Amino acid sequence: MSLERRLSHWVEAGLIDEAAMARILAYEQRDRRPVLLWALAGLGLLAVWLGMLLLIAANWDRIADWLKLGVHLLLLAAAGLVAWWARGQERPWLAEGALFLFAGLAVGGIALQAQVYQLTGPTWHLLLLWLAIAGPALWLGGATRLTGLLLAALALAGPALMAIDHWDRGGFWLLAQGAAMAVPVLLLLLSLLAGPDRPGFRLALRQVGVFAILLGASLVHLAWADALPPRLALENLVRLSPPLLAVAATLWLARNGVGGLPRPLWVALLVAPLLAVALAIAIPHPDRILSRILGIAVYGGLWALVARGAVQAGQNGLFAVAVAAIAVRIFLIYVELFGSLAATGGGLVGGGLLLLGLGWGWQRLVAHRRRMPAG
C-alpha cells in the first residue's frame, strides 16, 4: 500500500488529521530517493556503454589506427575531466554519469588496443587490468549505487575468473585464488571505509559483499557431499589465508567504530561464513551420510546465526532471507532423498524444529523489545 493511501486510511480512522498527513507527506517527499529516475539513468548509461563497445568491436579498418586510438584517448580524457569538474561543482548526477562512462571507456580502450595490436589472452587479464585502472577512480569518485555496483561487479568478476581458470595450479596460485575468495569480505571492508557522505555507494558495496559472502558460504556446504582428501584440504587451508586476513581487518575496523556495521552482525556475516567454508573445504572428510548431515547442520547453523543477528540488528529483510535460505535447504533434503528414508526424515524433522525455534526466538525478541523502555 502506498504511503498516501495508508495516511488517508489513518485520517479516516481519526488517528491523524489532514494537517499531520500533509506534514508527513512533505517530509517523506524530501527524503524520497528517485529510484525510477536512477534506474532509467542507469539503463541509459549501460546502453551507451554497450553501444560504445560494439562500435569499437566493428573495427573500422578504413580509419587509421592512430586516429581511432587518439579519438578514444580524447573521449576518455573528456569523460574524466567532466567527472572531476562536476564533482567540484557538486553536481552529483553529472559526475556519476561521467564517471560511469569513463569506466566504460577505460575497458573500451583496452579492447581497442587488443584489436589494433592483435593482443589476445584470457578474459580475466582484461578484467583485472580494467579493475586496476578504473577501480581507483570509481572508489574515490563514486557516490551512488550506480558506481558502487559497477565497482563491486568489477572487483568480483576478474579475480573470480582468474581463480577458476587456474584452480588446478598450486604454489603462488593458491594465494591468488585465496585473494579472489576474499573479495566479498573486502567489499564489506570497503563499505566500512566509504564514509557516510555517500550512502548509496556504501550500501551497494555492502549489499553485494554480504550477498556474495552468504552465497559462497552456503554453496560451499555442497563440498560435504564429496570426499575431501588431506592434500586438497591442505591446499584449501592455504587458499583460506587471504579471506582470514580480510575478516580480521574488517573486524578490527568494525571494533574501532568505523563504518557502522551493527555489532550483532559481526559473527553472522564475518566469522560464521569463514568457519562454514573452513569446515567444508579445509578439513578432510569421507563421502558418508554423516558428512552430508554435518554439512546441512553447518548450513543451518550459519543461517540461524544470520537470522539471530538480523533480528538483533533490526534488519527484517536479512532475517527474511535467512528463513527463506533455511526453508529452501529443508525442502531440498526432501528432493535429494540421500541415504535412507530414515536419514531424510531425521534431516527434515531437525530442519523443521530449527525453523520453529527461529520463529519462537523471533517472537520472543520482538516481545522483549516492546517491553523495553523507549530510548
Partner 1 sequence: MNHRLFLAALLLPLLVLAAGIARNEAGRRDAELWRIPVEGFDPRDTLRGLYVRFSYAFEVRGDAASCLAEGGCRLCLSAEGDRVVATVQSAPGQCRLPVDTLASRMDVRPGPTAGGIVFGNRIFVSETSAPRLRRELAGGGMDLVAELGVDGRLVSRRLERR
Burial tier of 24 (Cβ tally within 10 Å: 0-12, 13-18, 19+)? middle
Contact between 273 and partner 1 by CB under 8 A: the answer reads: no
How far CA 295 is from CA of 62, 103, 190, 329, in Å, comes to 60, 41, 31, 11
CB of 197 vs partner 1, minimal distance in Å: 11
Is there binding between residue 69 and partner 1 (CB under 8 A)? Answer: yes
Identify the residue among 26, 58, 367, 372 touching partner 1 (CB under 8 A).
58
Kindly state whether residue 126 participates in binding partner 1, applying the rule CB under 8 A.
Answer: yes
Q: Is 53 in the site for partner 1 (CB under 8 A)?
A: yes
Cβ proximity to partner 1, 69 vs 294, nearer residue: 69
What is the C-alpha separation between 272 and 114, in angstroms, rounded? Answer: 43
The DSSP secondary-structure symbol of 143 reads: -
Distance of CA 147 to CAs 219, 257, 288, Å? 28, 25, 46
- Which is closer to partner 1, CB of 116 or CB of 251? 116
Q: Is 360 in the site for partner 1 (CB under 8 A)?
A: no
111 binds partner 1 (CB under 8 A): yes
Work out whether 106 is an interface residue with partner 1 (CB under 8 A). yes
Tell me: does residue 83 bind partner 1 (CB under 8 A).
yes
The residue written with cell numbers 575531466 in the block is 81
- Smallest distance, Å, CB 70 to partner 1? 9
Q: Which residue, 87 or 145, has its beta carbon nearer to partner 1? A: 87
Among the residue ranges 98-106, 182-190, 282-290, 307-315, the one whose residues contact partner 1 (CB under 8 A)? 98-106
Nearer to partner 1, 1 or 140 (CB): 140
- By the rule CB under 8 A, 131 interacts with partner 1: no
Q: Which of 29, 32, 117, 342 binds partner 1 (CB under 8 A)?
A: 117
From the list 68-76, 275-283, 313-321, 324-332, the region that binds partner 1 by CB under 8 A is: 68-76
CB 94 within 8 A of CB 82: yes
Q: Which of 21, 110, 174, 247 binds partner 1 (CB under 8 A)?
A: 110
C-alpha grid cell, residue 34: 528517485
Q: Report the length, in residues, of the chain.
A: 375
Taking the C-alpha atoms of residue 103 and residue 100, their distance in angstroms, rounded to an integer, is: 5
Kindly tell me which residue out of 7, 101, 128, 137 binds partner 1, with binding defined by CB under 8 A: 137
Nearest CA-CA partner of 198 in 141, 258, 137: 141
Q: 302 to each of 154, 276, 297, 309, how far by Cα in Å?
A: 28, 7, 8, 11
Q: Closest distance between partner 1 and the C-beta of residue 253, in Å?
A: 19
308 binds partner 1 per the rule CB under 8 A:
no
Cell numbers placing 148: 558502487
* Spatial distance between the Cα atoms of 324 and 338, rounded to a whole number of angstroms: 22
User: Are the C-beta atoms of 102 and 74 separated by less than 8 Å?
Assistant: no
DSSP type of residue 271: I
Site for partner 1, rule CB under 8 A: 53, 56-62, 69, 72-73, 76-77, 80-81, 83-84, 87-88, 102, 105-106, 109-111, 113-121, 123, 126, 129, 132-134, 136-137, 139-141
